[in-house]
Amino acid sequence: MKIAVCVKEVPDPSPNRRIDPDTKRMDRSGDRSLNQYDLNAIEQGLRLKEANGDGEVVLVSMGSAKALDSIRKGLGMGADRAVLVADDAAAGSDMVATAKVLAAALSAESPDLVLFGQQATDGDGAVLWAAVADKLRMPVISQIAELDIAGGTATAKRQTEFGYDTIAAPLPAVLAVADSINEPRYPSLKGIMGAKKKPQDVKSLADVGVDASSAGEAGSRTTVSALSPPASRGETIKIEDEGDGAQKILDFLVERKLV
């Protein structure tokens, strides 16, 4: 079984993330790492391979050439190889353009199963897997808390706001796993040392059959017209607590007939 896991390099989570006012894109100049939710997808791919007794786990991504530094963590966990689409013309791709590029790279791999993490920490969109499945014309299941693969069918226990659904889909399929599905393993020292020696194929848009006009800003369906600070919340009153803070708050509420 060939299992493709889509992964993404993201800026390290911090309260200081910012949007570049010139490009109107997220500033990615600082420290970066592999998206934490993708670790659950990698772990699940490795468990399926181990349970099957053979197969291959391939990491597929789109980003800058430097993204390989982060992707190697997945190789250190045990993935067999990585495919990275790195092309300047892809910069600024929105979800639609990103889905087209990833779908093209995945089509070239012809996997039996495509795994995604539930979302990315930089965008939190949680819809890319659905767009990729649409491009590939494959069934898709999201928010998977439990997964079983048998007889060419994926059976998943899916989290919903009302409980759980059990859904079955024929392979090949696109599956987005929840972070509750497993506990990702830590890369061993041996795995970390061996990660650099594993195949890491860096491809251009042309290599995966995508025209430059279909990626980047040119191929995106959304644009950012302007950026501005959040609107002011209006007049604020600061209450200094000198032992009578509770009474001051009560007086404030009574004055406005809120109590």
User: Which pLDDT score, from 0 to 100, does residue 14 have?
Assistant: 66
Mean pLDDT of the chain: 90
pLDDT, average across residues 71-78: 96
State the sign of the Cα–Cα–Cα–Cα dihedral 205, 129, 184, 149.
Answer: negative
* 183-194 average pLDDT score: 93
Average pLDDT of span 207-212: 95
Q: Can you tell me the distance from the alpha carbon of 81 to that of 72, in angstroms, rounded to the nearest whole number?
A: 9
| Cβ partners under 8 Å of residue 114, min gap 6 | 3, 4, 5, 6, 106, 129, 132, 133, 136, 138, 172, 173, 174, 175
Domain membership of residue 171 (yes or no) is: yes
Across 52-66, average pLDDT: 94
CATH number of the domain enclosing 88: 3.40.50.620
pLDDT digits (tens, 9 = 90+) for 106-122: 999 999 999 999 998 88
Overall number of domains in the chain:
1
What is the domain extent for residue 7? Answer: 2-214
Residue 219 has pLDDT above 70, yes or no: yes
Crossing angle of helices 95-109 and 128-136, rounded to 10°: 50
Judged by average pLDDT, the poorest of 5-19, 38-52, 204-218 is 5-19
The residue with greater pLDDT, 257 or 205, is: 205
Which pLDDT tens digit goes with each residue over 130-169?
999 999 999 999 999 999 999 999 999 998 888 899 999 9
Cα separation, 172 vs 165, whole angstroms? 20
Q: What is the pLDDT of residue 90?
A: 93
Long-range contacts of 243-252 (CB under 8 A, 24+ apart): none
- At residue 194, the pLDDT reads 93
Name the range with the highest mean pLDDT among 43-47, 90-94, 162-166. Answer: 43-47
% of the chain with per-residue pLDDT over 70? 97
Share of the chain above pLDDT 90, in %: 65
Any residues with CB less than 8 A from the CB of 53 and at least 6 apart, and which? none
Is residue 191 in some structural domain?
Answer: yes
What pLDDT, on the 0 to 100 scale, is given for residue 131?
Answer: 95
What confidence category does residue 55 fall into, taking pLDDT thresholds of 50, 70 and 90? Answer: very high
Domain presence at residue 255: no
Q: Quick check: is 184 in a domain?
A: yes
153 half-sphere exposure, CB direction, 13 A CA radius: 7
Q: What is the DSSP letter of 163?
A: E
**Is the previous residue joined to 229 through a cis bond, with omega within 30 degrees of 0?**
no
With contact defined as beta carbons under 8 Å apart, do 121 and 36 qualify?
A: yes
Number of C-alpha atoms within 13 angstroms, CB side, residue 47? 16
Name which of 82, 91, 11 is nearest 42 in CA terms.
82
DSSP 23-36: TTEE---S-EEE-H
For residue 19, is it within any domain?
Answer: yes
- In this prediction, residue 15 carries a pLDDT of 61
pLDDT (0 to 100) of residue 20:
75
Say whether pLDDT at 82 is over 70.
Answer: yes
pLDDT of residue 16: 67
Domain membership of residue 252 (yes or no) is no
Measure the N-to-C terminal CA separation of the chain; round to a whole number of Å.
65
